[in-house]
């Protein structure tokens, strides 16, 4: 009896070791693909970010959204189609980035964000509730990821002034992002009797 229990325990231990080692192998493959595909050049050797791209490690971005951005980036990042890098490789890169030991993303305070949004003039172009207007696009209530939100505000492409670290810290952006995420949803078309056919 005792021997049988020991055998079962042994089998469990072997299985646990096996799953850990396959996971480690996937992460290692992810790091290798990350470096070989040139991601490291813009996102740093450990995904910590540099002056060409934001930090990716510890962002907690879901796999689907991660792959979607790599395939269809919006601003300065180059696009990687399926022929250049497979979904499996991106899955491995995503797993490796999630395993990098880095502090998780900041939690924002919507209340403090409301104050910063006014103090730093965002409202002048993006309107009081982030709904946008003639001077700037809508920013809420479903803002882009905090990573891109912060990156864009520091490196805007066209009409928006850049906000350097000294003016808006990473925490300040997390707070403004939380404020925008908490804005009320605009009414749906069904709720506007004037627009009903």
Provide the binding-site residues for ligand HEC, judged by CB under 6 A.
Answer: 37-39, 41-43, 52-54, 56, 59, 61, 66, 69-70, 73-78, 80, 85, 93, 120-122, 124-126, 135-137, 139, 144-145, 147-149, 151-153, 156-161, 163, 168, 176
CB of 48: closest distance to ligand HEC in angstroms?
13
**Torsion sign (Cα): 176, 142, 149, 109:** positive
Spatial contact of 172 and 116, defined as CB atoms under 8 Å apart: yes
Strand residues in the chain grouped as ranges (E): none
Cβ proximity to ligand HEC: between 10 and 137 the closer is: 137
Nearest C-alpha neighbor of 129 from the set 162, 166, 176: 176
In whole angstroms, give the CA distance from residue 3 to residue 8.
9
Cβ proximity to ligand HEC: between 29 and 160 the closer is: 160
Cβ proximity to ligand HEC: between 7 and 124 the closer is: 124
Cβ proximity to ligand HEC: between 10 and 121 the closer is: 121
CA dihedral 157, 46, 91, 28 (to 10 degrees): 160
Alpha-carbon Rg for the chain in angstroms? 22
CB of 130: closest distance to ligand HEC in angstroms?
9
CB of 196: closest distance to ligand HEC in angstroms?
30
CB of 13: closest distance to ligand HEC in angstroms?
35
**Please, which residues bridge with residue 136 across strands?**
133
């Amino acid at each position: 009896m005792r021997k049988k229990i020991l055998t079962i325990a042994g089998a469990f231990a072997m299985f646990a070791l096996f799953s850990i080692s396959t996971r480690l192998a996937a992460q290692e493959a992810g790091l290798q693909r990350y470096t070989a595909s040139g991601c490291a050049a813009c996102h740093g050797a450990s995904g910590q970010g540099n002056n060409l791209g934001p930090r990716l490690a510890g962002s907690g971005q879901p796999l689907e959204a991660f792959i979607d951005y790599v395939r269809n980036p919006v601003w300065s990042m180059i696009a990687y189609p399926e022929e250049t890098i497979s979904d499996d490789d991106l899955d491995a890169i995503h797993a490796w980035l999630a395993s990098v030991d880095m502090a998780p993303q900041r939690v924002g305070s919507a209340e403090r964000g409301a104050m910063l949004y006014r103090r730093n003039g965002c409202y002048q172009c993006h309107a009081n509730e982030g709904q946008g207007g003639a001077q700037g696009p809508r920013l809420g209530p479903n803002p882009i990821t905090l990573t891109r939100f912060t990156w864009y505000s520091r490196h805007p492409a066209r009409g928006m002034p850049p906000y350097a670290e000294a003016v808006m810290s990473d925490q300040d952006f997390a707070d403004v992002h939380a404020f925008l995420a908490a804005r009320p949803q605009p009414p749906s078309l069904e709720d506007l009797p004037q627009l009903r056919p």
